[in-house]
């Protein structure tokens, strides 16, 4: 249950006694001090202050303790101006949730007096907001750390922090401690609101500060955010309880915790007042929203019904789980209005046997039935998805089942991935017995089919008039503008930059695989 609380007791941090020297496996670690729950070691010539550490077993526990909601967040008085005349730079990897976390960190830093800079050579603080969902995402971060080591040597006063989902992984923190000890801060997804205190500790102690809460904390409302453009992300819930066997997210983001509906509605209304044109509601499993409430009967379908009443042109959401996509949500989405027709519905595999090994908790047939309901009740529904190829034990016949499902559903777009094991997940203990050349060949065949689908769908739009939210100039041609349709199609058309941030109607005259082109229609026209 989540409940409001205007007081701020010590937030749940998952702290507990642990032999850190043994955990990090540093034979030369020397205990310096243990005070107020903080342990300081001398490791490889540098002091390391450990406030709390990542722990998979702790992160997997789903206790029944109440999650409290705090409304009284403030930047500590002694940190309000500490960043005056200083600059920050944040590099973000991964999903929309990470992008939204970055907006929060930018808001925190700017309330502390820091200014943003695109040039990391000018930055006084550099944060890498990381992703743990794929192995190559981690490889990119460690590669980037190699480059930043040179900058750190040239500019010793630079504060360098690693945050986000990678920080929640035991092995990652261990590796940073051993091989990248020039990092100044490591903090996780549950304690972003603690950024001002962590900066203070790192600045004044000159130590590497590690604070990663393995257990999810309370919900902190009223955190500052720096949003840009005309589209906004809004977190409506945190965490995931599904524990798909391949996925690290339940460990890195904690258990499902829903924000109170009145807080979500108030935030979206404020965004409408500020002139935002589009809001995307976010959650690792967004349509599980409200299932943790014990004092009210209020689901994601109820929330979307309330979103329809807010004067904001477009409402999107992601990412949904097929198992939690109930009939009420389908019925509400069918009402249209500002609820767009594009639905991201990850399937991961078209084989019931593989879905069972993935612990997705639905069958191919159940997914097909859900798609039929959506298409029957949501006019003009457009679906996109996520698919993994080469999961342990996947046979050629099972992969063919995925291809046949893709043909049947007719996805507009898909994010496709080669399976890679993530440390700490059940699938990592399975035999990864599909050769890489087979995985690559299957991915190529899948992507070819997705491209074929997308082109057929786009070709069918020739002559249609669509509503486009203009986002900016085309990267390749300043005479062309680009934007998104309600169904999330990328649309290019000729126009002047005064149109950026507005809605225009565009008649489709040319189609490509991943985008469409057209001419602006000045006269009123029927919008499909």
pLDDT of residue 17: 37
Sequence-ordered list of residues with C-beta below 8 angstroms from that of 503, at least 6 positions apart, any chain:
277, 313, 467, 468, 469, 470
Question: What whole-number distance in Å separates Cα of residue 466 and Cα of residue 469?
Answer: 10
Helix (H) or strand (E) holding 272: helix 261-273
As a whole-number percent, the residues of the chain with pLDDT over 90 amount to 68
The overall average pLDDT reported for the chain is 88
**3 compared with 334, residue with greater pLDDT:** 334
So what's the pLDDT on residue 18? Answer: 37
For 294-320, the pLDDT digits (tens) are: 999 999 999 999 999 999 999 999 999
pLDDT above 80: residue 162: yes
pLDDT at 58 over 70: no
Name the DSSP letter for residue 350: S
Token representation of residue 313: 């042109």
Q: Apex CA 223: angle with CA 6 and CA 333, to 5°?
A: 100
428 vs 477 pLDDT, higher one: 428
Q: Sort 448 into a burial class: Cβ within 10 Å, 0-12 / 13-18 / 19+.
A: exposed
- Rounded Cα distance between 219 and 484, Å, is 32
Taking the C-alpha atoms of residue 91 and residue 429, their distance in angstroms, rounded to an integer, is 32
Phi/psi-derived region of residue 397, left when phi > 0, alpha when psi is between -120 and 50, beta in every other case: alpha
pLDDT for residue 12 is more than 80: no
Strand positions, DSSP E, 371-474:
382-389, 413-418, 465-473
Report d(CA 233, CA 149) in Å as an integer. 33
Please tell me the least confidently modeled range out of 96-110, 197-211, 480-494, 497-511. Answer: 197-211
Total residue count of the chain as it appears in this document: 528
* Cα distances (Å, whole numbers) of residue 239 to 97, 99, 210, 267, 304: 11, 16, 22, 20, 20
For 521, other C-beta atoms within 10 Å of its C-beta total 15
pLDDT, tens only, 380-427? 999 999 999 999 999 999 999 999 999 999 999 999 999 989 888 999
Q: What is the pTM of this model?
A: 0.84
What would the pLDDT profile of 238-271 be if each residue is shown by its tens digit?
A: 989 999 999 988 888 888 999 999 999 999 999 9
pLDDT tier, 109 (very low <50, low <70, confident <90, very high otherwise): very high
* 15-33 tens-digit pLDDT: 333 343 344 455 567 777 7
Residue-wise pLDDT tens digits, 77-107: 999 999 999 999 999 998 888 899 999 999 9
At 524 the pLDDT is 53
pLDDT confidence band for 203 (50 / 70 / 90): very high
* Mean pLDDT of the region 233-237: 95
Find the mean pLDDT for residues 42-57. 71
Indicate if the pLDDT at residue 42 is higher than 60: yes
Could you report the per-residue pLDDT of 432-471, keeping only the tens digit for each? 999 999 999 999 999 999 999 999 999 999 999 999 999 9
Report strand pairing: 208-211 vs 185-187: parallel
Residue, of 15 and 143, whose pLDDT is higher:
143
């Amino acid at each position: 249950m989540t409940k409001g609380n205007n007081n701020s007791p010590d937030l749940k941090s998952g702290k507990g006694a642990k032999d850190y020297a043994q955990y990090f496996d540093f034979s030369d670690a020397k205990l310096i001090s243990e005070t107020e729950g903080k342990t300081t070691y001398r490791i490889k010539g540098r002091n390391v202050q450990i406030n709390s550490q990542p722990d998979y077993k702790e992160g997997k526990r789903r206790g029944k303790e109440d999650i409290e909601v705090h409304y009284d967040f403030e930047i500590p008085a002694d940190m309000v101006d500490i960043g005056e005349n200083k600059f920050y730079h944040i590099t973000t990897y991964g999903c929309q949730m990470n992008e939204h976390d970055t907006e929060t960190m930018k808001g925190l830093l700017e309330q502390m007096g820091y200014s943003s800079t695109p040039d990391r050579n000018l930055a006084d603080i550099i944060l890498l907001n990381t992703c743990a969902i794929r192995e190559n995402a981690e490889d990119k971060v460690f590669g980037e750390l190699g480059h930043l080591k040179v900058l750190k040597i040239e500019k010793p006063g630079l504060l360098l922090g690693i945050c986000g989902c990678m920080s929640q992984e035991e092995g990652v923190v261990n590796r940073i401690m051993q091989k990248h000890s020039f990092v100044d801060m490591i903090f996780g997804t549950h304690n972003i609101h603690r950024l001002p205190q962590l900066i203070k500790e790192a600045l004044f102690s000159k130590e590497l500060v590690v604070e990663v809460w393995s257990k999810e904390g309370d919900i902190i409302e009223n955190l500052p955010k720096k949003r840009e453009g005309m589209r906004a992300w809004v977190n409506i819930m945190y965490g995931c309880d599904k524990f798909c066997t391949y996925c690290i997210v339940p460990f890195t983001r904690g258990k499902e915790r829903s924000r109170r509906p009145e807080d979500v509605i108030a935030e979206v209304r404020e965004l409408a007042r500020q002139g935002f044109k589009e809001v995307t509601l976010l959650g690792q499993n967004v349509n599980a929203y409200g299932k943790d409430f014990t004092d009210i009967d209020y689901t994601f379908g109820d929330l979307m019904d309330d979103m329809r009443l807010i004067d904001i042109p477009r409402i999107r959401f992601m990412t949904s789980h097929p198992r939690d996509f109930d009939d009420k949500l389908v019925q509400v989405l069918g009402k249209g209005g500002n609820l767009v027709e594009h639905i991201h519905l990850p399937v991961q595999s078209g084989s019931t046997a593989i879905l069972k090994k993935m612990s997705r908790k639905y069958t191919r047939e159940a997914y097909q039935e859900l798609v039929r309901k959506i298409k029957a009740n949501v006019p003009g529904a457009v679906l996109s998805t996520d698919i993994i190829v080469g999961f342990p034990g996947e046979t050629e016949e099972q992969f063919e089942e995925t291809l046949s499902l893709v043909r049947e559903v007719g996805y507009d777009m898909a994010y496709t991935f080669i399976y890679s094991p993530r440390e700490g997940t059940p699938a990592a203990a399975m035999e990864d017995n599909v050769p890489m050349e087979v995985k690559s060949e299957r991915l190529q065949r899948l992507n070819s089919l997705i491209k074929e689908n997308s082109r057929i769908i786009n070709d069918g739009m020739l002559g249609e008039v669509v509503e486009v939210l203009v986002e900016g100039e085309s990267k390749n041609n300043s005479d062309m503008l680009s934007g998104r349709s309600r169904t999330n199609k990328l649309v290019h058309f000729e126009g002047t930059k005064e149109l950026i941030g507005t809605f225009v109607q565009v008649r489709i005259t040319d189609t490509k695989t991943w985008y469409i082109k057209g001419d602006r229609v000045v006269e009123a026209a029927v919008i499909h």
